[in-house]
Amino acid sequence: MKKFAFKRIQETEELNITAFMNLMVILIPFLLITAVFSRMTILELNLPALDADNQDQGKIELQLELVLRNNSFDIQDANIGLIKRFPRSRDETRWDQFTDLLIEIKRRFPEEEAIALLLEPDINYKTLTQVMDRVRSAEVVSILNVETVTLFPNISIGDAPADIARNVKK
């Protein structure tokens, strides 16, 4: 009996990993095919400089600003002032009129590509992204086709100034 127990201890069995390897050969390609790879889109934004007084003496440049308020969008020039105010509510915005005015401004100043978005503190993120999409480009319908026109792709973001007209009314 001693010899039989001794043989049993010396004999080692090889580990059979064939079934495991077959499982990995099938499982790894399946996981790689069905994996969702996240795509991140990066939009480069410019913050307004503190010393932005680079105006030429003889040339007036458009410094377009869009002030996002809770109940209005104010399109204005930093030099001239308010161009147009679009009243809006949290549920409804007249995007067609908004886009038409931006297209008209782009026709008058075709070389201008910059706009500053000035936001009140409680503007939600969805509104900001919708405005950024509509400020960068617009779809113009011509007779037979639809063209995408680039409006103001260089976007700067800042804080909105206090609305003086509203403060006076209160």
pLDDT in the model for residue 48: 59
Q: Choose the weakest-confidence range: 28-32, 45-49, 58-62, 119-123.
A: 45-49
| pLDDT at residue 53 tops 60 | no
pLDDT in the model for residue 25: 92
| pLDDT at residue 167 tops 50 | no
- What is the residue-averaged pLDDT of the chain? 78
Q: Edge-to-edge strands of the sheet including 81-87?
A: 81-87, 72-77, 64-68, 114-119, 154-159
Taking the C-alpha atoms of residue 70 and residue 90, their distance in angstroms, rounded to an integer, is 7
Do 59 and 72 meet the contact criterion of CB atoms below 8 Å apart?
Answer: no
What count of other Cβ atoms lies within 10 Å of the Cβ of residue 158?
13
Q: Choose the weakest-confidence range: 10-24, 38-52, 84-98, 126-140.
A: 38-52
| pLDDT at residue 59 tops 70 | no
Q: Token pair for residue 124?
A: 């939600």
Taking the C-alpha atoms of residue 120 and residue 69, their distance in angstroms, rounded to an integer, is 6
The per-residue pLDDT for range 12-30, each reduced to its tens digit, is 678 888 999 999 999 998 8
pTM reported for the whole predicted model = 0.60
- Going by pLDDT thresholds of 50, 70 and 90, the confidence category of residue 46 is low
pLDDT in the model for residue 22: 92
- Going by pLDDT thresholds of 50, 70 and 90, the confidence category of residue 9 is low
